[in-house]
Amino acid sequence: MVLLYNNTVKKFSLPQLSHLELTLIALVLILTGALLVLGSYILYVDLLRPHAEPLSPRSDIAFATITPPVIRQITLEKAPALPQINGLPADTPAAPATSVPYFSAANEMGKVMVLEYHRIAYPEMRYQRSPDNFRQDIQRLVDNNYYPVNFAELVSGLKNVPPGKKPIVLTFDDSDISQFLVLDNRTVDADSALGILLNFHEKHLDDWPMRGTFFVLGDDTNNYTKIFGQPEWAKQKLQVLVDLGMEVGSHTVNHVDLSQVSAERIEWELAVSQYVIEQSVPGYQVQSLSVPYGGFPWTYDFFKAGSWGDYSYTYTGNAAAWGGPSLSPHDTNFDPYHVPRIEVSDIWMDHWLTYFEQNPNEYYISDGDPNRLTTPQEQPQLAADAPN
Ligand SMILES: [Zn+2]
């Protein structure tokens, strides 16, 4: 037993290491540590900043099977045209007159709200604003001197806002049928988002022009069903929105979280969705994007320009899914590819409208002159210069 015990101990004892061997082991350990630190730093600098979304370069089957030829095969030329819709204004709102008075008490460094709507239907719930509440939203905006603009107009510097008006952007994600429903008699449903906006425009004319951005799912694989839910009307609806002066932007093809897919998939989503919209509205150029789920890819470079196969794309701006009011586009910290929005609910709509009623000096007010930037700092001098 004693022998056996001794043998066992001997068997598992550590080998005697020479001085040289110890030095080598220490060197290896130090080098490994240094490489780990360097690797972590590179990962942080190149890949994780400024958006800490995880990288998972995965693809999926739907991506692999959908190819551009499928898009080309689908046409809707036999669908009836929309101009017979009752209540559509004959022409788009007039551009502001060239001789508008200058509004010296402007604040073109103030904040701007970008409202985010999804479905417009009963009952009121998350991602669904009731038609009555949507009407109340617009009424409150009209009453408080807000003026609707398209998302792309915000990004490009709000050059068409009349003097004294407060710009606001209405955005609609997901191209749900409740945003633009055509009834059997070819009229626009008065409870759909577009029907409600058309009625406000008829009542308030130039004080409430037809402006707003519909971020649609540029998906034609099921005969355009994902574009406002009525395939036979899909193309005409997009055309009508553009003709009215509203904006059609992309919300990707398949509503994917761009922080969770491969680079190739991101470019496919951005290129194909833009292509599907643009071929539906000849001559129209899609400018704006809203990322589903607020999921950002690891670099904004994807938004600016890219291509998939023969399809290239550019976007001038991208809407985030949350974040509160946006900075003025004239603010040096304004990022056109990360414009925050306010998801509309009873609580948040009232919160922000009340906030800016109580802090009116914080909101953007246009001077009416697209070639001039008026900030509160300039006002005393401008007021002194103005003739009495
Ligand atoms: Zn969405």
Q: What is the DSSP letter of 377?
A: G
91 in a structural domain: no
Residue 295 burial (C-beta neighbours within 10 Å; 0-12, 13-18, 19+): middle
What's the pLDDT at 96?
A: 55
Q: Is the peptide bond before 163 cis (omega within 30 degrees of 0)?
A: no
65 in a structural domain: no
User: Ligand 1 centre from 176 Cα, in Å?
Assistant: 10
251 in a structural domain: yes
**Whole domain around residue 194: which residue ranges?**
101-385
Sign of the CA dihedral running 119, 120, 122, 128: positive
Side chain identity at 68, as an amino acid letter?
A: P
268 in a structural domain: yes
CA dist., res. 171 & res. 186, Å (int): 24
User: Ligand 1 centre from 206 Cα, in Å?
Assistant: 30
| pTM, two decimal places | 0.75
61 in a structural domain: no
- pLDDT, tens digit, 9 for 90 and up, residues 88-144: 444 455 555 556 578 989 999 999 999 999 999 999 999 999 999 999 999 999 999
178 in a structural domain: yes
Question: Total domain count for the chain?
Answer: 1
Tens place of pLDDT per residue across the chain (388 aa): 333 333 444 444 555 777 888 888 888 888 888 888 776 655 554 444 334 333 333 333 333 323 332 222 223 333 334 444 444 444 455 555 556 578 989 999 999 999 999 999 999 999 999 999 999 999 999 999 999 999 999 999 999 999 999 999 999 999 999 999 999 988 999 999 999 999 999 999 999 999 999 999 999 998 999 999 999 999 999 999 999 999 999 999 999 999 999 999 999 999 999 999 999 999 999 999 999 999 999 999 999 999 999 999 999 999 999 999 999 999 999 999 999 999 999 999 999 999 999 999 999 999 999 999 999 876 544 444 444 3
What's the pLDDT at 51?
A: 40
187 in a structural domain: yes
> For tokens 């586009």, what's the residue?
329
User: Ligand 1 centre from 292 Cα, in Å?
Assistant: 5
User: Ligand 1 centre from 49 Cα, in Å?
Assistant: 25
Q: Could you tell me the CATH number of the domain that includes residue 155? A: 3.20.20.370
Residue 157 burial (C-beta neighbours within 10 Å; 0-12, 13-18, 19+): middle
Q: Is the peptide bond before 162 cis (omega within 30 degrees of 0)?
A: no
160 in a structural domain: yes
Which residues crowd ion ligand 1, with CB under 5 Å? 173-174, 292
Closest CA to 327 of 210, 167, 173: 167
User: Ligand 1 centre from 255 Cα, in Å?
Assistant: 6
CA dist., res. 307 & res. 166, Å (int): 37
